[in-house]
């Protein structure tokens, strides 16, 4: 499974989304994520990719799109 597929798997697990969001679609503007689902998304990403995400990194700007999530995970694992 590619990293993007893993991200989509987590997004679907924490939201009611029935279709995959476009890579640069805002997950907050579309209502897919909000203040209550962002922590779930981050916990899901930690488990899916075996990374530790500090609380200080929990800002919407880092997790607003699939592309941004992928870039953030790259920065945590490289």
Partner 1 sequence: MSYLRAFGHHLPPLSVSNDALEKRTGRVAASIEKTSGILERRYAAAEVAVADLGLAAANVCLQNAGLTAKDIGLILFSSGSAERAFPGPASVLAAKLGLTATPAIDIPIASAGSLIAIAFAADLAPRYGNVLVVASEIMSRRISDADPDTAILFGDGAGACIISPDDGFLRIADTALFTDGNYADALQLQHGGSIQMKGLDVIVQASRKIPRAVEDLLKKNYLAPSDVSVYLMHQANLNLIRKVATALKVPEDRFFRNIDRYGNTSSASLLIAASEWRVADPTPPTTPIVLATFGAGFNWGAVLALPA
The contact set with partner 1 (CB under 8 A) reads: 34-36, 38-39, 42-43, 55-56, 58, 60
CB of 10 vs partner 1, minimal distance in Å: 16
Q: What's the sign of the alpha-carbon dihedral 45, 47, 50, 51? A: positive
**How far apart are the C-alpha atoms of 50 and 36, rounded to whole Å?**
22
Nearest CB to partner 1, comparing residues 5 and 36:
36
CB of 5 vs partner 1, minimal distance in Å: 25
CB of 35 vs partner 1, minimal distance in Å: 4
10 Å CB burial of residue 63 (0-12, 13-18, 19+) is: buried
């Amino acid at each position: 499974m590619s990293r993007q597929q893993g991200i989509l798997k987590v997004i679907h697990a924490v939201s009611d989304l029935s279709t995959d969001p476009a890579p640069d679609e805002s997950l907050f503007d579309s209502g897919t994520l909000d203040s209550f689902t962002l922590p779930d998304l981050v916990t899901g990403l930690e488990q899916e990719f075996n990374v530790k995400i500090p609380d200080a990194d929990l800002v919407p700007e880092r997790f607003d799109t699939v592309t941004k999530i992928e870039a953030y995970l790259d920065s945590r694992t490289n």
